[in-house]
Chains A and B, each alone.
Chain A
Amino acid sequence: MTKRKMFLRMITASLLRRRSRMLVALLSIAIGAAILSGLVTIYYDVPRQMGAQFRNYGANMLLASSGEERMRMAAAQAALESIPEDKILGATPYRYVTVQMTRNQLSFVTAGTDFSQVQLTSPYFVVEGAYPSGSRQILLGKEVAETIGAKVNSVIELSYRPAETASAGSEIIPGVLLTGSAVGFNNNPVYVTLRVDEDLRITELTVNADTQTPEYGGQCAEPFFTQRFIGKQIPVTLNEDVDAVTGATMTSQAVTDAINHSGAAETPAAAGSSLNMTVAGILDTGGKEESYIFMSQEDLTALTGEQDQIDVMELSVSASSDELAEYIDAINGNQKDVTARLVKRITNSETAVLSKLQSLVFLVTAVVLVLTMICVSTTMMAVVTERRKEIGLRKALGASDSSIRTEFLGEGMFLGLLGGLLGGLLGFGFAQIVSVNVFGSSIQLQPLLLPVAIIVSMAIAALSCLLPIKRAVAIDPALVLKGE
């Protein structure tokens, strides 16, 4: 038998036959390694997971027309070719028109869209009832539903007149919801909904400026701007009654025009067509969508007669901010009719949250490793105390200091090996469970994870043994002759 074999036989015997004590050390290493490997797995997987997750909270890219003409559905579809298909989680078209309710002559902004895509790009939409699934079904914004007293399954007759007639023949009626639209930057429309009091002073105002540049014109939809109109009498004059948003004069002007030309027109449905629609669901978003009516593109076509036209397309793309920028450049370079824009806010916060999360993972890992080290070190210290006599005996039998050192280090490293293997696997399982429960998707085993977990565990175990070994080496062999 070689010395190495005997060495292995001794340390395995020590671990296997003195189970209870070693189990504590093994367990603490395994738990440490489990947390380590679990966190590392999540650490590497979280950016991917979080990316998908964040995209779940809304679109991160917007397509709009770049010319005077309204964007064509086909043009938007062509633009999508610049993005790899598997990166597109959802692409939702929106066409906004103003539609009237035949019964009470109230006007509402109505969006024609694709409901299967809405659920992908706006998963936070809460719908009472259901999304429309057949023809002649609509989704009512909560505010609209409250205004007209509609419920799920109510039937509403909607009618449509071309925008020009709506503006021309409209009348501003106190107390009722008024709508209006006007052309803003790049010939893209801006929509307003508002109410006025007896003196025609504005009491409520919401603006839809989705077709405008978010950093500039888009600001006109923010409360800081809409608040400026409250209390102002119609007609409103820009830069006299209210100040324009800096850098967004055209959009500010469009908002003002839309307000001045808004109305709850009493023009009969004869001017356009009308349809009976069933309320499939009521939409609760906490945002401006609550004042809209949504219907399928086909129904909107049936109502307005116009084909294949959209104002914006919201995209949810699973990509890093660099990739997003690349796609946007590609679209803006290749498509002359379509402009692509980043919805910046979401992507930035995504990166910020990720880096915070990653430093948190680092911190927790460091703390766990230190705790593991303390625990293993304490256990090994107790082991040395417990085995004082044995160590003295080994020395009396001729063991040199370095043999004692090697034996204890060997036991420690062996524990590290077992604990690392066990913990590495446990940790991966733990990460898998977290991933499935929190993110709803499974993760792949990093091939390097196990070796790294084992090496780190062995290093931690070896470090933890240093102090106990020092104590073991200091034991006096003469103590075996003392009748203790």
Chain B
Amino acid sequence: MKNTTLQDSSRRAFLKDGALLMGGLVISFYMPVKGGRAFAAEAQPKAVFPPNAFIRIAADNSITIVVNKSEMGQGVYTSLPMLVAEELEADWSSIRIESAPVAAVYNHTGFGMQLTGGSSSVPSSWEQLRRVGASGRIMLIRAAAGQWGVPESECHAENSQVIHARSGKRLSYGELADAAAKLPLPDSVELKSPKDFKLIGKPVKRIDTPVKINGSAQFGLDVYLPGMLTVLIARSPVFGGKVKRYDATEAAKLPGVQGIYQVPSGIAVAASGFWPAKTARDLLEIEWDEGPGAALSTPKMRMEYLELAKQPGTVARKDGNTEQGFKEAHKSVSAEYEVPYLAHATMEPLNVVVDLTPDHCTIWTGTQAQTMDRGMAAATAGLKPEQVEIHTMYLGGGFGRRANPRSDFVQEAVQVAKVIGKPIKVVWAREDDMRGGYYRPMWADHIEVGIAKDGRPVAWKHTIVGQSITADTMFESFMIKNGIDATSVEGASTLPYMIPNLQVELHSTRNVVPVQWWRSVGHSHTAFVVETMIDELAHLAGKDPVAYRLDILPAASRYRGALKLAAEKSGWGKRKLPAGHAYGVAVHQSFESYVAEIAEVSLENGKIKVHRVVAAVDCGMVVNPDGVQQQVEGAIVYGLSAALHGAITLENGRVMQSNFDSYAPLRYSEMPQVDVHIVASNERPTGIGEPGTPPIAPAVANAVFALTGKRLRRMPFDQETLA
């Protein structure tokens, strides 16, 4: 196998061998994610953040920054080093990156474990990594001042050098690293004022682009160990099913097949490579004990969900008195909404390489959840967590799938490694990945709104039906309070509009279909539901949809800034659109960021064509504007794929989709022009990986209404007939 060996041994040396490091001591501080989602308050880890865990300066002046978040396309291998480099006064061109091993020092500052998710990488590292960089800078300056015998206050750092301006002396960081490493850590550090930022806020090219254009970036699937076997697994076609009996006679005859084993998740075929493994796997004859999952069919589930949506559920939010509100309303409207299960469908299908020995387990994979995976791997292998090493490779997309609360793909791979006793690579064929579950839940919603004479909403009752993604996981105790999974109702329970009587209720359903977070989580469905209903109210009131929203948003709301900027930049209400085109708008807050999107849509042969999307984003201070542009554009494509085409459906428990022919992501020819505008802000940075996704479906649906008078209340839209 390539590269990895060298990288690995240096990584281990880095952890053990203080001589290699800059900074021999440890600074200790804990930065809570202010107002962060989830369970920041509960986690409270006593984490320590030594600069030497994050920064390594070599004699040649190269600076390696160890990144404790997984790079899945969202740009953390660039944005996080920027935070360190800014305060370190490092020469950006000398920055290298390395992915962090699993260790407490690399825990997420809010989650108390190593995890990449919740659009929280920059927000949770904002203080931490700038402090790390600043500590390093102070130590380097101290080392130089000591050597020159001058006061520290006369020295400053710039471009990876410490400079004594009066004498004109300068020393490079490479020359100072050893001396700086022997110094104690500074007691306190002062962070730059944003007006002095040199890197933060400027568009910076991604550090990982060069390896991603020449084929050398190493994803999990690219790891090859000597003597490694490739394993494909036949899993139950029905979730929860078990092998009753199987016949591997034909499969075993194929050249290249090395063994066929029953494993907890099904029947595993080990072979010399993917092709023989897949061919043999597909030849297996297996009889399954399908279990209750076989009773699940989408049409029936939809009816059940819609029925439940009309029943009282558990109250997630209650303002005023909706009953009274409806009595006083001038009129009322109601509607029901449906969205299907969705697969993440990362471009790189799931895969895990495991090398298991009696006292050690080494794993190479693309994961967003190293600590959980390590714990699960250890428990499965009968080892201690310290005996498990995880190498985080480049992730060919994550979107939440690779942060599995049950560590499903890692657990399975270790189970297989235990049975086979050789280094293995478990590969999920695209079909396996598509049918492997952990979907965005399907949802049904019912909304009833009481409207005053002036068209404003006075009573709003929203009932949500769907599975909880955190029930029965380690996240349950943080996320589920009084029977409400916050991720099921977010975006609905956080409705910003001024409505005096408002009630949101939830029915958490249960079945065997595994569900999980999917880029923007609950917002992926609630934004569609609430923002199309608000649009409906605007039209009923005979008001402009932007003006109507501004009317009912609180005066200080940050939604307003995003909405106004998108309206201004798109020429909303001013620009004359080509005949047969219409604009639709939506605005939504998720992960503490506010995004408004305006979609320009037409119909081509009865199909929705999205020509252009103008997005305006308020995500606080921006670290890398180019990264924000990429993320918002990507989030729109992800949301648009789901809005137009995405659906996982079941028939007798079987997933009807299997590959990109039946589950179609947006293609090049469907791509709209996307303009991303950033709302200038001095607020602390908030999420950007996900918040671009929620508004696109309602923006498009609202444009379709403006165009055709037809309300889209069901995703995906390509199932609707539009004239």
Chains A and B come from one and the same complex: no
**Residues of A that sit less than 8 Å from B by CB:** none
**Residues of B that sit less than 8 Å from A by CB:** none
